[in-house]
Amino acid sequence: MLLWVGLGNPEPGMARQRHNIGFMVLDEIARRHGFSPWRQRFRGMVAEGSVGGVKVMGLKPMTYMNASGESVQAAAAFFKLPTSDITAFHDELDLVAGKVRVKRAGGAAGHNGLRSMDRMLGSPDYWRVRLGIGHPGDKDRVTGHVLGDFAKAEQPLLVSLLDAVSDAAPLLASGKPEEFMTRVALLTQDVR
């Protein structure tokens, strides 16, 4: 079984913020691949399903971004999962909006959700699906950008990205991150 974690914040008013793109992607994967209904568990919301024939548990920590690792660690410990079976879907300032990159391990790059996961899991050796939200250009505007809702003009790209990641998810589940990234790029190229 794989544990796919969408990073975000639980407040309803935060649902459309760029920082919550991890929740948005996981919701779309769960919908598209017929996961069970979301239910409370591990200080988060979980849904189970199959992606490309691989059992996947989706987890949306309800602990707020800065404490995401508490929820992830509880689920990983319960299922005795190695960190290599965990994938975090999160917003990435350093990628152009709509770009997706997958990598295993690495630093948190200032992302508090990843920092919390690193601390609670005791290792940064998990997969990350970095979902580009773009940089506002000035470091003083970063917080407002990350915690701001996607603009109306960004909606077509957002919808295309969510669809593409969901469509390509079986490649990710089967351990083909390069093919996954290529498929997402092909599916979103006309919207950028």
Give the active site residues: 19
Give the other-Cβ count within 10 Å of 87's Cβ: 20
Q: How far apart are CA 151 and CA 49, in angstroms?
A: 31
Rounded CA Rg of the chain: 15
Cα 70–chain centre separation? 16
Residue linked to tokens 């005795």: 80
What is the spatial distance between Cα 5 and Cα 71, in angstroms, rounded to a whole number? 10
Q: Which of 8, 101, 4 is nearest to 50 (CA)?
A: 4
Helix, strand, coil tally for the chain in percent (to 5) = 45, 25, 30
Angle of helix 21-32 relative to helix 155-173, nearest 10 degrees? 60
